[in-house]
Every structure is written in C-alpha cells, then in structure tokens.
Structure 1
Amino acid sequence: MIAFFIKRFFQAIVVMFVISLISFSIQENLGDPLRELVGQRVTEEQRQALREEMGLNDPFLIQYARFAKKAIQGDLGNSYFFKEPALEVILKKLPATLELVFGATLIIVLFSVPAGVYAAIRHKSWLSRAIMGLSTIGISVPVFLTAIGLIYVFSIELGWMPSYGRGETTSVVGSWETGLLTADGLMHLILPSFTLASIMLPLFIRLIRSEMMEVLQSEYVKFAWAKGISPWRIYFVHALKNTMLPVITVGGVQIGTMVAYTILTETVFQWPGMGFLFLEAVNRVDTPLIVAYLIVVGGIFVVTNTVVDLIYGLVNPTVKLAGNAHG
C-alpha cells in the first residue's frame, strides 16, 4: 500500500506541474498585464521600463521558473483588481463553492442510490422506465436551463425559494464563514445545489443501475438466492456493496469536476464562490487571479482523485495486490 501511495503522490506532482505550466502559458493570450496595472497613464518608455522591471521581457522558461519557485511557497501573484495575493482572494471564496459542491453531492447520493437500485431490481416496472427516461432528459438539458427553470418555478411562480445570493452566514473558524448553520443560508443553498446536482445525478443513476444489474447476474448472488438468504440482504448487502466500488471511483472524479462546473451555476444564482469570481477575473483580464484559479481547481481535482484512489485501494483487495506487485 505504501508503494501505491508513493506512485499516486508522484503522479499528482507531475499533473500539478503540467497544470501550472499550461495555466502560466495562457497569460500571454489574455492581454497585456501592464494595461490592467497602469492603464494609459504612463508613456511608452515608462511602460517598457516597467516590463523590464517585472521581468516580462525575459524568455518564457525563465519567467515560468520564477513563477514556479514562488508558487511552491504559496505565492501565485497579486490580483490586479483586488490588490491582494491571488491565492488569498481565491481561498476567501472557496467556502461558498465547497458548500455548493457538498449540497449537490448530498443530493446525488440521496437520490441516485435508491433510484439506481430500484431501476435495477424492478427494471421492467413503469416507475423504473420513468426514472431512466428522466435521467436521459437530465443528461441532455444544459445546467443554465435547469437553473432558470428552477428559479422560474420555485422563486417567481411559487415564491418558496430565494433566487440569488448566499444568504445569511456565520463565522466558523477564523475567516471561514458558512451558510449551512443558518436557516436563511440553507434556503439559499437549495436551488443552486439541485441545479449543480442535475449535471451528475442522471449519470450516477444510470451507472448504479447498470452495475447493480451486472452484479445481480454474478455467481455469488445466485448462490445467495439458492441458500435462501432474504432478498433485502442480497440486494442491499451483497449486491450493493460490490456495486458501489466502481461508483466510488467515478464519484471521486466527478466531485472534483463539479468544482469546475460551479461556474455556470454560481453565475446564474449570483453565488459568491470561486466560479463567479473566475468569470469576473476573465472580464477584467485579471491574469494572476485566473492562473491562481486554474491551479487551485486543478489541485482540488488532483487531491480528490488521489484520495479516492487510496480509498479504493483500501476497499478493493485487487488494487492493493496490484499496487504491491508493481512496487
């Protein structure tokens, strides 16, 4: 298992290196940083002097090496708009995004597992067909249309839910604020969470159904039926346990992906998270903030996948054996 961890650790370092390289390389295509810093207030001579002072005239590899050295120390540059370290600006918005991802993940787990299991066990029933039909539609509908539809029904027509903002928050640790501990914060979280969950929920329903149906055809399940074990125990202990192994792997990847998918959801609901901040940074051509966002999201994705791989290695003996064999 140690060899398995070491292998994943070095893979994570390589992936982060590639992400940082790509993120840094797109700066030149986003505009001139001096324009955002000084505007039109300086002469061309002063502009060139500033470029030289900031090292913008240096070769790309030298600039990247300088950036990487600072990045390792946690310095991803200063935001042109906020006049603060870009990483600090991102981390201030991180709690709101993590709350949104947590809410969506909770909805996905609560709905996909029973729906997927039922669709596998009673795959010929009308309800199972309805679940699969809705999941097909759900995969096809863009997230912003789902958001607009939910706002129209539950905010405008029924008036049950707020349509934008994060609501009331309370401080937890230091500057970390959460809306999960207030009634108003939870009400503001419901519609954005369902919107974000709509991206992955149909996928997980179909995945659990297909895996469950495959497991139910396996020899050990047939043997369990022959022994007279109760259907409940066969479905929810023997079959579901093995169904969830591939779901854990896919789930880890998709949870990391959801952090990036929050951009559209946060924009529609004016949710003050990292995704909404990223779009504002793009509009302002705030390149340090854009690069910092890409690296942070990439880091979350890499860490999530590494943790899921390790959990899968602990749960599935085959992975542990493979890791030991290669080690």
Structure 2
Amino acid sequence: MITNLIRRGIQALFVIFAMTLIVFVGVNVIGNPVDILINPDLNQAERLRVMQNLGLDQPLWRQYLSFLAGLAEGDFGDSFVYGRPALGVILERLPATLELALAAMVIAIVVGLPLGLYAGLYPDRLSSKLIMTGSILGFSLPTFWVGLMFILLFAVQLGWLPSNGRGETAGAWSFLTGDGLRHLILPALNLALFKTSLILRLTRAGVQEVIAQDFVKFARAKGLLERRVVLVHILKNLMIPVVTIIGLEFGSLIAFSVVTESIFGWPGMGKLIIDSINLLDRPVIVAYLMMMVVLFVTLNFVIDICYTLLDPRVRLDGKG
C-alpha cells in the first residue's frame, strides 16, 4: 500500500510539472495585457518602462524559468490590476468559493445518496419513478436559468431570501451568521442541483448492480436484518464509484462555480477569474489555474487512499 501511494505521489508531481508548462504557455500566448492596462496615449518609452516593471520584456522561456522559481516559493508574481501578490488576491476570495462548494456538496450528498439508495432498493414503486424523473430535470435544466428562477421566485416574488452577496460574515465565513446563512441558501441549492442528480443516479445504478450479487443473497438467506444488509453489504460496496464522483465533483464545484457566483453576486474566485481574463491579468490567471491543478491532483490522491480503505482488493493488488 505504501509503495503504491509513493508511486502515485511521484506521478502527481510529474503531472503538476507538465501542467505548469501547459498553463504558462497557454496563458502567455493570449493577447497583450499592456494594450489593456496602459493608456494608449503613452509614448513608446513609457510603454517599455511599464513592460519592464511587469516583466513582459523578457523572452518567454526566461519568464517561465522565473515562474518556476517563484512557484517553488509559492510566489506567482504580482497582479497587474491589483498590484499585490496574485496568490494573495485569490486566497482572499477562496473562503467564499470554498464555503459555497462545501454547502453544495453537503446538499448533494444528503439528498442524492438516500434518494438513490431508496430508488435502487425499490425501483418499481411510483415514488422511485418520480425521484428518477426529478433527477432527469436536474441534469437537463441549465444552471443559469435555474438560478434566475430561484431569484425571481424566492427573492422577488416571495421575498424570503436575498438575491445576491454573502451578507454578514463571522471572520471569513458567512454560514456562521443568520444573515450569511440566508444569503448562502439560494446559490448553494443552485450549484448543488446537477451534483445531486448525478450522485442520485450513480447510487441507484450501484445499488441495482450490488443487490444482485451472491454475497447479498447469502446475507439475506442467513436471516440478517435488512438494515444491516443495506448498510454493511450494499452501501459499502457501492461507495467506491460514489467516492470517486464526490471527490472529482467537489473539485469541479470549486473550479467551475463561475456561473452561480456571477448570477448571485457571490464574491468568490469564479467572479475574480472572469474579471482577470477580461483584463488579461496573467499572474492571477496562472495562479488560479495552478491552484486548480493542485486541487484535482490532490483529490485524486485522496481518492486513491479512500479506495484502499474501502476495498481490500486494492490493497492486495498493491502488495502484488
């Protein structure tokens, strides 16, 4: 097991290194931030001075080496727009995005897992068919449209919940205050809709696959309580694909919450990266993309560890 995890760790480092090259080159061949950040009335000498201050006068390969050196120290350079370290600008917005993603994932797990388990155990019931029909709607409805309908219904028509912002915060978190929690409900529900449907359908498919296995039939033939059969024999064996989806989808919630944050005016990283792309703020874009790379690599590594804990066959393969 230890050898397998060390091998995965080395692979993860190679992936991160390869992505540094892809991200840096991809971002730096897009446009010229000088054309956006500098007054066009400035003369050539003043433009050259600004480019030198931003480090844009160096060859691309030298900029990449400087980027790698800074990356080793956690330094992505200063933001062209904010004039502060790019990583610090992103970390200021991280708690908002992280809070929204965690809330959405908790909703998706709490709602999707039990409903999927129920629909898989009792597929012929009318309630199960209604649950699966609802999951299709969760897949089909566009996130931006659902968000606008949430605002129209719950904020404009009923006036129950606020339509934008984070509200009052306690430290870096809004869910610790009543006003902040009210601001969190609508964007979290909107972001969780697709993930809930995904976990629900995956859980249902896993239940129907596991329930036909011989060890489940044997457990029931022994006279075990149905609750023990479901929790110990069925749920544990279907959790491997579910854990994979939960891990990867949590990363996607953080990386791709742009639409929800824009609709609800949520001051997170998604809104920041859109503004940075419009202004060609390269250090912020690169820092954000590298954070997402590290996030997904780390999540995959954690999922590998969860595999070894959930499935003894993985541990045996590692020993082999």
The answer to whether the aligner puts 1:322 opposite 2:320 as a matched pair is: no
Q: Which residue pairs with 1:135 in the alignment? A: 135
* TM-aligned CA deviation for residue 103 of structure 1: 0.3
User: Given residue 97 of structure 2, which amino acid in structure 1 is its aligned partner?
Assistant: T
Q: Distance in 2 between matches of 1:6 and 1:28?
A: 33
Q: Is the 8 A contact 1:23 1:291 kept in 2?
A: yes
The answer to whether the aligner puts 1:305 opposite 2:282 as a matched pair is: no
* TM-aligned CA deviation for residue 51 of structure 1: 4.2
Where in structure 2 are there 5+ consecutive unaligned residues?
none
Q: Is the 8 A contact 1:196 1:261 kept in 2?
A: no
Q: Distance in 2 between matches of 1:58 and 1:317?
A: 53
Which stretch of the first structure deviates more once superposed, 258-267 or 51-60? 51-60
1:215-241 per-position Cα deviation (integer Å, ceiling 9, x unaligned) = 100001000111111222212222111
Q: Distance in 1 between matches of 2:8 and 2:178?
A: 41
Q: Is the 8 A contact 1:281 1:289 kept in 2?
A: yes
Q: Is the 8 A contact 2:33 2:279 kept in 1?
A: no
Q: Is the 8 A contact 1:195 1:265 kept in 2?
A: yes
The answer to whether the aligner puts 1:257 opposite 2:249 as a matched pair is: no
Which stretch of the first structure deviates more once superposed, 308-317 or 256-265? 308-317
Q: Is the 8 A contact 2:37 2:279 kept in 1?
A: no
Q: Distance in 1 between matches of 2:233 and 2:312?
A: 16
Which stretch of the first structure deviates more once superposed, 247-256 or 46-55? 46-55
Secondary structure of the corresponding residue to residue 203 of structure 2: helix
1:143-184 per-position Cα deviation (integer Å, ceiling 9, x unaligned) = 11111111111111111111100111012xxxxx11121111
* TM-aligned CA deviation for residue 98 of structure 1: 0.6
* TM-aligned CA deviation for residue 50 of structure 1: 5.2
Cα RMSD after superposing both structures? 1.7
* TM-aligned CA deviation for residue 313 of structure 1: 1.7
Q: Distance in 2 between matches of 1:50 and 1:259?
A: 34
Q: Distance in 2 between matches of 1:42 and 1:150?
A: 47
Which stretch of the first structure deviates more once superposed, 314-323 or 257-266? 314-323
User: Given residue 243 of structure 1, which amino acid in structure 2 is its aligned partner?
Assistant: L
Please report the TM-score for the alignment, with normalisation by the length of structure 2. 0.94
CA change 1:292–1:228 in 2 (3 A) is same
User: Given residue 205 of structure 1, which amino acid in structure 2 is its aligned partner?
Assistant: L
* TM-aligned CA deviation for residue 322 of structure 1: 2.2
Q: Which residue pairs with 1:32 in the alignment? A: 32
User: Given residue 174 of structure 2, which amino acid in structure 1 is its aligned partner?
Assistant: G
Q: Which residue pairs with 1:174 in the alignment? A: none
User: Given residue 43 of structure 1, which amino acid in structure 2 is its aligned partner?
Assistant: N
The answer to whether the aligner puts 1:233 opposite 2:228 as a matched pair is: yes
Q: Percent identity?
A: 41
Q: Which residue pairs with 1:164 in the alignment? A: 164
* TM-aligned CA deviation for residue 92 of structure 1: 0.7
Q: Is the 8 A contact 1:80 1:286 kept in 2?
A: yes
Q: Which residue pairs with 2:197 in the alignment? A: 202
User: Given residue 269 of structure 2, which amino acid in structure 1 is its aligned partner?
Assistant: M
User: Given residue 169 of structure 2, which amino acid in structure 1 is its aligned partner?
Assistant: T
The answer to whether the aligner puts 1:185 opposite 2:180 as a matched pair is: yes
Q: Which residue pairs with 2:83 in the alignment? A: 83
Q: Is the 8 A contact 2:115 2:200 kept in 1?
A: yes
Secondary structure of the corresponding residue to residue 308 of structure 1: helix
Q: Is the 8 A contact 2:93 2:268 kept in 1?
A: yes
Q: Distance in 2 between matches of 1:21 and 1:151?
A: 41
Q: Which residue pairs with 1:266 in the alignment? A: 261
How many residues align? The count is 320
* TM-aligned CA deviation for residue 212 of structure 1: 0.7
Q: Distance in 1 between matches of 2:226 and 2:14?
A: 47
Q: Which residue pairs with 2:284 in the alignment? A: 289
